[in-house]
Structures are given as C-alpha cells and as structure tokens.
Amino acid sequence: MSSPASKKEEQNSFVIFSQSQLPRSFFLAQSTLRALAAACTLAALCIMVTSEESVLVFGIHVVARYNYTSACRYLMGVNSVVFGFSLLSLAFLCCLKWSKSNSRHYFVLFLHDLVITALMISGCSAASAIGYVGRYGEEKIGWFSVCQHVAKFCNMMLASLILSSMAFFCYFTLSITSARKLSLL
C-alpha cells in the first residue's frame, strides 16, 4: 500500500508529464494543419489559374475562365491571402515555440485562426453558389447549365473548391485547438 506522500508525488509527476507533452503535441498539430492549409490553398490557386476551356457552342466560340466571375476572383483572392497568412502564422508559431509564450500570444493566434476561418468560408460559399448555378442552372429564372458545355473547366473549378474547403476545415480545426489551448492556460 502506498503512502499519501507517494500518491501526491505520482499525481505531481503525472501533471508535469502531461503539461510537458501538451505543448509538443499542440505545436505539432498546429504546424501540420497550417502547412496543410497552405498546401491546399496553393494547389487550389494553381488549379484555378490554369483552368480554362474553349469550346464551340452553336457555332459560337466560348471561352470559360475563372476570372469571368466575381465569385471565382474572390475565392482566388481569399486563397492568396490565406496562403500568405498561413506561412506567416507558421513562422509566428515557430517563434512562439522557442520564446517564452504567454496567453496573449495564444489569443492573437486564436484571433488569426478565427478571421481566416471566416474568410475561407465566405470565399468557398461564394464560389459554391456560382458553381451550383453553373453546374445545374436555375430553370425558374431561365439560367441554363453551362457545365454540360465546359465540363473540364467545371471539374477543375470543383477540384479547386474542394481544396479550398479542405483549407477551411484545417483552419476551423485550428480555431478549435487554439480556443482549447486558451482555456487550458
């Protein structure tokens, strides 16, 4: 049977062990998700910029490009901003790991993640709305589907939107983990 003093030492050693492991797993998760978000937004940008298709529809030459719709231009701008800020926040996270950190630093990180999450969902929503109309049309208003004519372009835009959505989910997870870290401080 163990004495009360040895139980207290076991509890203290457990607390020290779990607190020393928390930052390592926190930084690993944070850096992995930020790198993944940066990779997704960069891939989405590359796909979006190269998406173009030219077809003949009823004898008329039609070209489909991402910059013909404001929603796709907006998503491209959002992806560019998120890519840049992902790299900056990754550098900030590395500085945070090697310096003395306080709750203010984690709060700044949380606010950053929250703003980027909101920005990503707005870009994805705008592009999804125009993509839905492009793929399925809106019969009641008289808008017809264009994806039956420019399927390659629509599929590339869909791939870009999926990658952007993955970046959104990375930042959504980052917001949750940052909030959790703040609650533990």
For residue range 66-108, what is the model confidence (pLDDT) as tens digits? 888 899 999 999 999 999 999 999 998 888 777 666 677 788 8
The per-residue pLDDT for 102 is 67
- Read off the pLDDT of each residue in 144-151 and give the average, rounded to a whole number: 85
3-state secondary structure at position 54: strand
Binned at pLDDT 50, 70 and 90, residue 65 comes out as confident
Mean pLDDT of the residues in the chain: 84
For the range 29-35, what are the long-range contacts, defined as Cβ-Cβ under 8 Å and sequence gap of 24 or more?
29/177, 30/93, 30/109, 30/174, 30/177, 30/178, 31/90, 31/93, 31/94, 33/170, 33/171, 33/173, 33/174, 33/177, 34/86, 34/89, 34/90, 34/93, 34/170, 34/174, 35/86, 35/90
| pTM for the structure as a whole | 0.81
More confident residue, 82 or 151: 82
Q: What are the tens digits of pLDDT across the range 19-59?
A: 444 477 888 889 999 999 999 999 999 999 998 888 877 88
